[in-house]
């Protein structure tokens, strides 16, 4: 359910970004008078797109990984490394969420130059995206921990099964 909503959100944000940039280019070259707000709106749309797209990549397990060494380790050690990496990601996401929530009240009184909206509107993408990334990361920790427990009890991992 969350993945479908993220996919739709990312699609809509991409369409909006293309429209905003097209409007900026058209008004600049056709009328020789660029709009004052479209560049800022495109930048803010891109910020939301980065965090929602990152969350979607984590849900789909399509994040960048270099597994050259991990693939050569015994399954137990590969899962332990996977767990450690996921725990580090959780700490990073919690820091992003915490500090962005801490900064939001301070930025609410400041308005953006072009759109004249509070800067906290843009900053909301950080805790929201962080929470959306945190959910599948915690699910991955649970899955990896379950696999580690199964290996410790004597079960053999499936052929070609990787930590992620």
pLDDT band at 23, cuts 50/70/90?
Answer: very high
Q: Which of 17-21, 42-46, 140-144, 157-161 is predicted least confidently?
A: 157-161
- Residue 41 predicted with pLDDT over 70: yes
The pLDDT assigned to 161 comes to 57
- Polymer length in residues for the chain: 164
| Spatial separation of the C-alpha atoms in residues 100 and 97, rounded to whole Å | 5
The pLDDT assigned to 102 comes to 94
**H-type helices in 108-124, by residue range?**
119-123
- Residue 114 predicted with pLDDT over 60: yes
Read off φ and ψ for residue 148, nearest 5 degrees.
-65, -45
The pLDDT assigned to 156 comes to 66
For 93, the token pair is 């996401």
pTM (2 d.p.) = 0.84
| Spatial separation of the C-alpha atoms in residues 46 and 113, rounded to whole Å | 17
Query: Are 74 and 147 contacting, i.e. CB atoms less than 8 angstroms apart?
Result: no
Q: What is the mean pLDDT of the chain?
A: 91
The pLDDT assigned to 160 comes to 52
CA angle at 92 for the pair 138 and 4, rounded to the nearest 5°: 45
The pLDDT assigned to 157 comes to 60
The pLDDT assigned to 152 comes to 87
- Residue 109 predicted with pLDDT over 70: yes
Per-residue model confidence as pLDDT tens digits over 115-152: 999 999 999 999 999 999 999 999 999 999 999 999 88
Closest CA to 41 of 136, 111, 122: 122
The pLDDT assigned to 31 comes to 87
Segment 63-86 shows an average pLDDT of 90
């Amino acid at each position: 359910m969350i993945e479908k909503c993220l996919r739709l959100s990312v699609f809509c944000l991409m369409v909006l970004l293309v429209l905003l940039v097209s409007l900026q280019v058209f008004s600049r070259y056709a009328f020789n008078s660029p709009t004052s707000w479209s560049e800022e709106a495109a930048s803010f749309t891109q910020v939301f797109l980065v965090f929602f797209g990152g969350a979607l990549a984590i849900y789909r397990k399509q994040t960048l990984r270099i597994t050259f060494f991990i693939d050569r380790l015994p399954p137990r050690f590969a899962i332990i490394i996977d767990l450690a990496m996921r725990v580090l990601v959780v700490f990073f996401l919690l820091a992003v969420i915490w500090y962005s929530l801490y900064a939001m009240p301070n930025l609410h009184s400041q308005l953006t130059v072009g759109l004249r909206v509070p800067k906290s509107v843009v900053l909301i993408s950080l805790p929201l995206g962080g929470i959306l990334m945190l959910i599948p990361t915690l699910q991955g920790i649970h899955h990896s921990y379950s696999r580690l427990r199964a290996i410790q009890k004597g079960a053999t991992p499936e052929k070609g099964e990787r930590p992620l």
